[in-house]
Structure 1
């Protein structure tokens, strides 16, 4: 809601309104978008949930329809986007864990269809390589990254012959499932295994020990998305400067869950 409030505030300044259009569960995003383009439902678009290969972006570029994407894609480059700085996030988290002598770090990432999954995994591999560590592909899990997947992924990773001594969970609620799985296995987060989550969201604030994760100003992010879309709408006749492409910073909140006394290989 904080993100949407920021978007609405930025649009309201220019006499525009935010209309939220939700596709039905399982509905193809391109089909949904084509239907609303044909109806002329809106003047411009803010796209979320960007895919690695995103036909929606290609369609909007082809039709010259104003839009800004919340996220990147591999299928196009010359368009306006604002994305979370997943590269910086992973680099900070991995540096923290490696400095604490962790050498086997499990990564729970989104599905390969989601673009940030590729960004996160590339940054994870780069961090290990930079520290002179070998990448073990068995420590990388791709899934829905929700609470249920966080639990299943944690059980899978901890069942390895050489389980991880730390977990980096790139899902909003994945840490909730990870905590539950670890405790069912007799392992205590923040004591027996280090855990770092993605974002300081309300669901994870109830976890104990307090989750080490990242925070961002969602209202300000929404405002910037709106401002960029308004700028594009104001240049529909041409003379549009290069599209804004910006990685939104996230701040590390180092709490208790990443501390362990002695990592085990």
Structure 2
């Protein structure tokens, strides 16, 4: 006797009732649903996902692709864990499940995406770490799979996206340090062709030019976006001649700040006293001394907006989220601290 038939007989209900209860259908009494779920757990019955997908034409799964590895996430990834919480908050309203698709730093993201799509286990996709030219976008679009990108790209398939306001961080952060007397202002950029690096450096260049300061490529420091990368940048700064090194820095990656602070202390450049820093907020940054002047946003709210914007493109959910195709730059708030002192006279 199959599992679903056994449950129906044991509980004296129809096979259809058992199926609807296990699939979360709203027309099943809560007490009946509880009995079915408990009985299924007791006998170790798990509905066959492949069969459910064929019958429903969907899997109830949304995949979130992110790259992993020590050169990318370092000792952990606060950013994505907080975003995931917001995304799943929305998906739970519709009994959808978020699955993290972890692409190794040693694997080609395009090949990984093609493999994921070929297996067909997700109804929709969220991609991140978008490249300047990102072939994943054209590939997913050609397969008619609903998706949203966390990050902009020059590859445009008319798809929805959300991105942080890197232009705003350059404008506010660099202008703030200039107003405090700094003229040699360093910034971070990724080593690869991740689009955020191009967007931020281009905005940084424009802010400098507007203030009559020439762009110096030596002020752009490339390193892994993790704690170790922040530490490396601090030591690279210390190795420069004193009259050529930056006196202030705008750091747009939240996990690098701890390593940056630590490295600066090691080389005798004291944050907030002899070196000015504006960074990104994170739970770890709250323990930094002096208090970090930082850009802040609710990552959970970002995740909620990301999920709702994706569902707005899916026919089954578009009526609940009449947003159209969302293409939004998300602003960040500057929270003053004590780390960005004026340039000593």
- TM score, norm. by length of structure 2: 0.71
**1:164 matched to 2:221:** no
**1:227 matched to 2:308:** yes
Alignment of structure 1 residues 189-200 onto 2, 5 Å:
189-197=271-279, 199-200=280-281
> What residue number does 2:299 align with?
218
Cα RMSD (Å): 2.0
Cα distance change of structure 1 residues 218 and 67 upon mapping to structure 2, 3 Å threshold: same
> What residue number does 1:207 align with?
288
How far apart are 1:241 and its partner, in Å?
Answer: 8.2
Q: What does the per-residue CA deviation read over 1:221-241, in whole Å, with 9 as the maximum and x for residues that have no partner?
A: 11111111111111799xx98
Q: Aligned partners of 2:256, 2:282: CA distance in 1, in Å?
A: 11
How far apart are 1:7 and its partner, in Å?
Answer: 0.7
> What residue number does 1:247 align with?
329
Q: Aligned partners of 1:21, 1:63: CA distance in 2, in Å?
A: 18
How far apart are 1:77 and its partner, in Å?
Answer: 5.4
Max Rg structure: 2
How far apart are 1:14 and its partner, in Å?
Answer: 2.6
SS of the residue 1:23 aligns to: strand
Q: What does the per-residue CA deviation read over 1:89-144, in whole Å, with 9 as the maximum and x for residues that have no partner?
A: 11110111011011000112222411100011011101101111111111111221
> What residue number does 2:183 align with?
103
Q: Bigger relative contact order, structure 1 or 2, given CA contacts below 8 A and separation 6+?
A: 1
Cα distance change of structure 1 residues 101 and 154 upon mapping to structure 2, 3 Å threshold: same
Q: Note if contact 1:110-1:170 (Cα within 8 Å) is conserved in structure 2.
A: no
**1:145 matched to 2:228:** no
Cα distance change of structure 1 residues 254 and 64 upon mapping to structure 2, 3 Å threshold: same
SS of the residue 2:121 aligns to: coil
How far apart are 1:85 and its partner, in Å?
Answer: 0.8
Greater CA deviation, 53-62 or 247-256? 53-62
> What residue number does 1:65 align with?
145
Q: Note if contact 2:182-2:343 (Cα within 8 Å) is conserved in structure 1.
A: no
Q: Note if contact 2:276-2:341 (Cα within 8 Å) is conserved in structure 1.
A: yes
Q: How many pairs are equivalent?
A: 260
For residue 256 of structure 2, the aligned residue among 174, 180, 199 is 174
Q: Aligned partners of 1:230, 1:145: CA distance in 2, in Å?
A: 30
How far apart are 1:65 and its partner, in Å?
Answer: 1.2
For residue 194 of structure 2, the aligned residue among 114, 117, 137 is 114
Q: Note if contact 2:138-2:157 (Cα within 8 Å) is conserved in structure 1.
A: no
SS of the residue 1:46 aligns to: strand
How far apart are 1:179 and its partner, in Å?
Answer: 1.7
How far apart are 1:68 and its partner, in Å?
Answer: 0.4
Q: Note if contact 1:192-1:260 (Cα within 8 Å) is conserved in structure 2.
A: no
Q: Aligned partners of 2:206, 2:158: CA distance in 1, in Å?
A: 26
Q: Aligned partners of 2:106, 2:183: CA distance in 1, in Å?
A: 39
How far apart are 1:209 and its partner, in Å?
Answer: 0.6
Structure 1 runs of 4+ off > 3 angstroms?
Answer: none
Cα distance change of structure 1 residues 77 and 220 upon mapping to structure 2, 3 Å threshold: same
> What residue number does 1:136 align with?
216
Q: Note if contact 1:53-1:73 (Cα within 8 Å) is conserved in structure 2.
A: yes
> What residue number does 2:20 align with?
none
> What residue number does 1:187 align with?
269
Mind listing any 5+ residue stretches in structure 2 that lack a counterpart?
1-80
